[in-house]
Structure 1
Amino acid sequence: MTRSARAALWAAAASAAAVAGMRPLVVSSGWMVGALGAVCAVAGAGLLVRGLLHRRAVAVVVQAVVLLGVLVVLFGGGTALVGVVPTPATFERLATLATDGVQVIQRYSVPAVDLRGLRLLLVAGAGLVALAVDLFAVTLRRPALAGLPLLAVMAVPLALAPGGYGALAFVAVGIPYLVLLAGGRTAVWRSAPGRSGRPRTVAGVTAGATAAVALVAAVAVPAAVPGLDERPLTIDTGPGDTIAVINPILNLKASLGARSSATIVTYETDEPDPSPLRIVTADVFDGETWAPSTGGDIPRSQRVQDGLTPAPGLSDAVRDSSVVRSTSISIRGLDQTYLPLPYPALRVDIAGEWLYETDSLNVVGDGETTRGRQYAVTHLEVQPTEGELRSASGAPEEVQNRYTELPELPAIVTETAQQVTAGARDPYERAAALQRYFRSSGGFAYSTTAPNDGGTNAVATFLAEKSGFCVQFASAMAVMARSLDIPARVAIGFLPGEETSPGRYRISAQDAHAWPELYFEGVGWTRFEPTPATRTGQSPAYTQPLQPIPSAPAASANAPLPSAAASAPAGSATTSTSATADPAAQAEPTGWDRFLALPWGWVLGALLLVVAALTPRVSSSWVSRRRWAGVGDAAGSAEAAGSAEAAWEELEDRVHDLGLRWPASTTPRRRAATLSEFTEPGSPAADELSRLLAAVEGARFGSGGHVPAGGVMVEQRTASQTGRLVRSHVDVVVEAVAAGRPRWLRWRARLLPMAGVRRALDWWDRD
């Protein structure tokens, strides 16, 4: 194999290992099939072009085209001609998916959901990394620079994944990279030959030993140093390194702000299943935004250190049945005037002037911010029963009027709310029906893309498109609850985050979240969770009625009223939105649709595995057939000589698969002497071995007489005297040799004959 071919294979191995190290960033591993397939496609294209055309620059262009072809096949969605040739629609689709993927990165916490846009970025990124590594290591012959793209890939999980970059993954990338570096040191391979026949020097051995020691030390030393935990390859941002600000004013077109995965809040709690940390509640809705009400100045006497007033609407009976919990919170990278707290808080031990609002229990700093704060919270774990929620009496008039106020809404909003809750018998059932509609029965999907319209029709657009992020879900449920005369508001805060150890959690800006709170007299403000489980996990147990809710009319669960199209925002695509909003009305998928819907990433991966498994046997059979077919084209003595050479080559290939190898300079007689150790004197195998050796020596040299060759007595004859040899003569010798070899070698030779692969590599071996 040529040096460039070896470098290309090691470059592909390093790229594949680096890409595989990103597995912790995504919930599922389906994307890895396409990503590793892209790496193999890029590496294979480079090997093929350089081997055939000997043009390095052309290889780079072909690799880029092949990578584009992989993306078109996997993500083109039927827009490409014959499934491969991209069209303008193909590029438009890829651009749309790429935009979605960027938004997934910005808005999802790690591990992220394996959405199609993110999968496109991962597969494309894997192919580009393989292309860059191959470019530096093979095309430009600068293997040291190949470490730059590898390092860039490793830095992503290093910075974002909770466990950092694993030691095994680091070693898997480090070994092929070190081999690439060693291959670039041409001065090393000189002097006396080693066991492999390749010359090497003390300098080469020293360099290899140094690299091995350095690799082991990089993994082992950090784990042994006091103060470093079992995750030595983790970037940890200290206080103040990353500052996030969560906007308390929710625009229905905007997300909740910064989406960095760096830790901004850590906390420890004795609550078994922590609820979200609430920053602020927004209760004023103008059709476009939710904002906290301005109820005037907060008396300085309302200090959280002195204890907060009881939560609004919470009865003594429910409060007494609730469990008192304690949570210690440390702010590492959040700069906010509102204090993140579990709800409802009873007391906050914190330095500085922090005041609370009595009607919302929002805690705001009097000239203070959250940056760098550490504080302890005593709070209640309120778990109302279904009976308490069902039996709740009407809200006080002040609460009812204030928290059901709405601007003029499109008809689709109120009509859909009435349809969804048509079978409900009380406010609790109506609230549960709304939550179920958004989470499961309504056909909604969590997406990183907000509805197209961000104005006064945003809620209507969301109901039609059935796709959005938490702001849309929380806002739509709160608005629809208000339209049903259920007091509602929107809370802004953080999901519980990731549990790093029992009772300890970390929160990043990606955990920023919004959810609706509905008022039930006796229980107070109660969290519901309309955002699908892909983002939030299980909804609170009390929001799932044990008593079944009477079903609404069949059309109400998923389909808006006929007026939905008329109520949709101007300029929206009526056909597409109505199709999305009414799954029952969609046309039956065609055969082509079903074909396109197949999991082509897995199919391609399976095909690649099948091809990889069959390639050795198929290529070896092809080499053998061509070898013997060439013999039949000759005549007379030429045919005999050709059959001798073919038989000897066949014998060498097959015993090579059984683990018997010789340097290229070894004569046929020396090789026959080694093989004679596996044959009994006078046996058919010994006779055939003698005949094969005599034939090949006769074909090459020609002589007479009997000459001992180790344990083989050879009657030297010309090729024409030995007659034409066939494959069965070789089979007898190979079977005798195989009987004396380990079982695993026999199975490997039978299942994975490598003669064809060796011929392909030798074809490129031009050093």
Structure 2
Amino acid sequence: MGAARAAAAGRAGGGSAPRRRRERTRGELMSSLSAHGRLTIVAAVAAWLSVLPLFAITQTDDWIVPAAIGVALVAGTGYVLRKLGVPALLVPIAQLAVVTLWLGVLVANDVALLGFIPTTDWATRLVDVFQEGLDVTSTYVAPIPVPRGILMLVVGGAGLVALLVDALAVWLRRVPLAGVPLAACYGVAASVMTIGLDWWWFLPPAAGFLALLVSEGRTRVAAWGRSASPSARRSGIPETDSLARNGRRVGAVALAVAVAVPGIAPVLTEGVLGPGRGGGGGGGQTIRTDNPIIDLQRNLQRRENVEVLRYTSSVEQAAYIRIVTLDVFDGEEWKTSDRPVPDSVSSELPWPQGLDQADWPVADYDIRVTENFSSSWLPLPYPARTIDIEGDWRYHAPTLDVVADGDDVRARSYNVQSLVLEPTVDALSSAGPPSDDVDAMLELPDELPPLVTELADEATEGAANDFERAAALQRWFRQPGNFEYDIEARGGHNGDALVEFLNDRRGYCEQFAATMAIMARYLGIPARVAVGFTTGTYQGNGTYLVRSHDSHAWPELYFEGSGWVRFEPTPATITGTAPEWTEVPNQAPNVPNADPTAPEQQPSNTAPAIPRDDQLGGGAASGEQDPPSQWPLIVLGALALLAFFATPTVAARIGRELRWRRAADDPGALAEAAWADLRESARDAGHPWDPAATPRVTGRRLAAAASLDDDDHELLDHLVGAVEQARYARRPAPVEALREDTAMVRRSIARSASAGRRVQAFLLPTRLRDSAVEANRRLVDGFDWIDATGERLRTSVAAAATRRRLPAPPPPAE
């Protein structure tokens, strides 16, 4: 029986080794699978985080969940197919197909079999929706709405980013290259936001990229194998891996630097590094008009006021230069209407809409566009009659906008003949009802904010006809003190933006023109918004110079017989006096107030105007004045520079003052405060200071190093005695004039320093260096605590999982 038990035990023992090998093999396999899965998950999370900056340029968050699902589908497809052994080159193709199917579910499920199986109509729908998205991006200013076209672009973009990150990080194991697609959405958002993207939007993609680096690094290092620390095992304290610890610290610093650099990059690019290279007198800066509203705000806010064009006129009256007309308001944005492709500009343009056939004066304009201006729209005075220009240019008859068919106006020279329109007040006041041709220019969304309609009614109360109502609106906007011009105001024309503009009473030409046009349509006056440039600056000999800061928007209102008439609601401080034909003599404006609690505005029949260059034949004042003297900016810059360099010394002095105040009347604390002052002064002067030495030894060494005279030596001895009393006496005795003595000794020590040491002490005093070291120590302690806590948690979870996997112990043998 004993031999049988021994044989059984031997068989059991001999069988345990293969079983342990099998378990170890399964464990290694599970480890490999978990490493692959972990990297896949981290890559997917990083891809989704990288898309979040798009939230800054959209009006809703409806796309976030669909984007997350798209990213998850890409990651899941890649993981499953790789584990099934599908050829690596086929995996991205399958992932792209899955994303496309998901987009079909979102925007074309009603034309697909079972909601997701593609059909011919399904493919056509995807193409149409994709084009809708492109149209929205070229029409709207951020934040943009999220119709199905934008939803498709955002979700498809998120899926594409996830696909690229998965391929680079999981398949090719080129994690650093994955940073390129991870930064793509941030770059898109930053390029769309005309006033800059807040720095915190950089954090999600940066954090995702760092997490991806750490995850891939852990997987790679784990493949090498590690040796455990015996001391750590003996103490029972989890060992914190130094590589991971240092990696996290470097990542934190890199993340902080990466967040700071985009914030100062515009300043470095525009202020320190200067304009980029290029010709045309603009430093290589290009003005574009892809989206008229976006480009209008960008041009007004840009630092460099670059030259756009020059024109010479045959008449003394200068002209506004119009680029494009926005004739549709859909409740969210002013935009151009859908326009059929007309005939090419090869002969005389159509007669202006609504204008009586009369013998209007004709002006001749020679226009030369610089290299700095790029647009498919042709800058023209309104209304143009003939255009002599090379290329395929086409016109839109109702607006007389001229656009290129695959061409650009950059560096073009051309000749324009245009009518000189000066409608009279009598003609405008007696205008009949508008024709049916302009009914579309009265269309408004079903619901306007009540504030818009209320203020429009109040501002035009008592007006007898459409022209008086239009003139009353213009006077109300231009009334001194009623509105303030502010280029930093938030753009947009939706309901919230309109209410914000009318409540805050601040904005720039876009808001003034858009709001007056909306109010005019509400009052039954056909209206649209023109975007272009003011007259520019007169240069002599009939020539005007137009710069980027002359960008402007204004409303055009329709009056039968006079056609489309320019009004000017933007305050006079920017645009000068309003056109003469828009002023009703002796009409006092109504000044409704958006805020009932605000003080009542005082009415005035006149508005201050910028003096016009009438002696030189200038017309309406340009939005751009002669450049001011640079000396104030230079002085302010010098003062700011001095303040910057003086900040460390001022901060050190404040710190010393606070230290003395905290000591109060405590003799021991006062002595230590004096000793700390002395230590900082000695180190600032470059003299040795041994913290392990006694106060008396330190005092002798310092007196010799600083070559103190007898008086200063006596004061130093007095200070040393106070410190010894504070440290070694049972009850330190009060010491009189301790702070004054310390200050005198510090001055003597400072005089003993070299010139270089004095400069160093001014720019980076010892107190700040010590504070930085202390802050770094605390930061390191915090990282150590986080690492240790995470290691303990991971160890606890692993131990619990191991206990669950262990088989139950066999019953005791009988």
Q: Same fold (TM over 0.5)?
A: no
TM-score, normalised relative to structure 1: 0.41
Higher RCO by CA contacts (8 Å cutoff, separation 6 or greater)? 1
With structure 2 as the length reference, what TM-score do the two structures score? Answer: 0.39
